[in-house]
Amino acid sequence: MADPYGLRRVIEPSGSMPQPAWKIDNTMACGEDEILIDVDVLNIDAASFAQIKTEVGAGEASVTKKMMEIVATRGKHHNPVTGSGGMLIGRVAEIGSRSSKREELKVGDRIATLVSLSLTPLLIETVKRVDLATAQVEIEGQAILFDSGLCVKMPDDLPDLVTLAVCDVCGAPAQTARLVKPGQTVAVLGAGGKAGTLVLAQVRRNIGTNGRLIAIEYAESSAKEIRAMGYADAVIVADARNPVTTLALYEQHAGSALADVTINCVSVAGTELASIMITKDRGLVYFFSMATSFTTAALGAEGVGKDVDMMIGNGYAHGHAELALDLVRGEPGLLALFQNH
């Protein structure tokens, strides 16, 4: 029987889908509706990578050991704390006889997956290099892409690691393109990260000259880069885990004009209330961050009496990879930032 979602690979708990499952089968035998990939690079989700470094220390050996432990235990790179994974670049090694992708892919194609490592059967043979700054990990290993899984062929005009980094967060600018309207006031938390910088560029395109863009970033070094890019009307250095201070700093730069739309791209927990408090009543908060606690967001909004809509950061939108890659191609400053990181 056809199994486009990889249900047969679920080991524990029985009846679960592969993403929320605690353990899946990572035997690297290609099923008839699967694709086998020889993996070159993993791009670990920012929230997951930050949590791993906090837990074991920011050393290449300790991070490698933890990653190997996660995959050995779960059959996939599914961080048990953050619940997130990342994505990968590799080369198609085999295509199942009933795969719907047989017409678009061939053996030898280099692809980036657009589904999370938290649902992707993965076998790591060797970790060759861990880039502690970018969360990109070079490995020798294999992975399985289910028939329902999305992927994109690697473009020839962009460096591989730029494509990998962009595709990992391409849902953020795509959703931003849908949500943000001309003339709005928009705030972006975690504006200096991969998702944040893409969102800044897309917001600027959407709001035009009459809108206002407020970037909020924890690190002064990243804030300096944001200012140099020129997308934001104001750049605030703040720890968004402190909502009262963040609101005060926001009001210093934007006055009483709270955000119509707030987009949270922060890779650490505890920034829900800051996002809510800088957003106007009947405004929208888009939580792209995988570190978000939606319980905290829902009950926190109630507790401070804010009537805001809140949206989960779906990593998928139609055409999201193409939109994000075209955004980088069309913004030299953005491309340079991704190349330098």
pLDDT, tens only, 212-222? 999 999 999 99
Give the residue from 158, 189, 218 where a domain finishes.
158
Q: Are residues 144 and 288 in the same domain?
A: no
Residue 160, judged by CB atoms within 10 A of its CB (0-12, 13-18, 19+), counts as middle
Q: Are residues 221 and 324 in the same domain?
A: yes
For residue 263, being part of any structural domain is answered with yes
Looking at the structure of the chain, the number of domains it has is 2
For residue 1, being part of any structural domain is answered with no
Q: Are residues 129 and 214 in the same domain?
A: no
Q: Are residues 103 and 153 in the same domain?
A: yes
Closest of 152, 157, 124 to residue 42, by C-alpha: 124
Give the residue from 158, 184, 214 where a domain finishes.
158
Enter the tokens of residue 318. Answer: 């139609």
For residue 166, being part of any structural domain is answered with no
Residue 209, C-beta contacts closer than 8 angstroms, at least 6 positions apart = none
Per-residue pLDDT, 161: 86
Could you tell me the end-to-end alpha-carbon distance of the chain, in angstroms, rounded to an integer?
45
Contact 26, 76 (CB under 8 A): yes
Residues of the chain with pLDDT under 70: 1
Would you give the distance in Å from CA 274 to the centre of its chain?
Answer: 20
Q: Are residues 81 and 29 in the same domain?
A: yes
Per-residue pLDDT, 256: 85
Domain housing 304 = 171-340
Angle of helix 160-168 versus helix 332-340 axis, rounded to 10: 100
- CATH code: domain of residue 335: 3.40.50.720
Enter the tokens of residue 84. Answer: 């997130």
Q: Are residues 67 and 126 in the same domain?
A: yes
Q: In the block, which residue shows the tokens 């929208």?
A: 284
Per-residue pLDDT, 1: 65
Give the residue from 117, 135, 158 where a domain finishes.
158
**Dihedral (Cα; 67, 70, 73, 74), 10-degree rounding:** -120
The structure's pTM equals 0.85
Q: Are residues 327 and 194 in the same domain?
A: yes
Q: Are residues 150 and 281 in the same domain?
A: no
**Within 10 A of 185 (CB to CB), how many other CB atoms are there?**
21
Which pLDDT tens digit goes with each residue over 256-272?
Answer: 899 999 999 998 999 99
For residue 164, being part of any structural domain is answered with no
Would you give the distance in Å from CA 234 to the centre of its chain?
Answer: 24
For residue 56, being part of any structural domain is answered with yes
Q: Are residues 105 and 243 in the same domain?
A: no
Q: Are residues 253 and 198 in the same domain?
A: yes
For residue 163, being part of any structural domain is answered with no
Q: Are residues 86 and 215 in the same domain?
A: no
Name the H helices within the chain: 46-56, 60-74, 160-168, 171-179, 194-207, 220-229, 243-254, 272-277, 294-303, 320-330, 332-340
For residue 2, being part of any structural domain is answered with no
Question: What is the identity of the amino acid at 148?
Answer: S
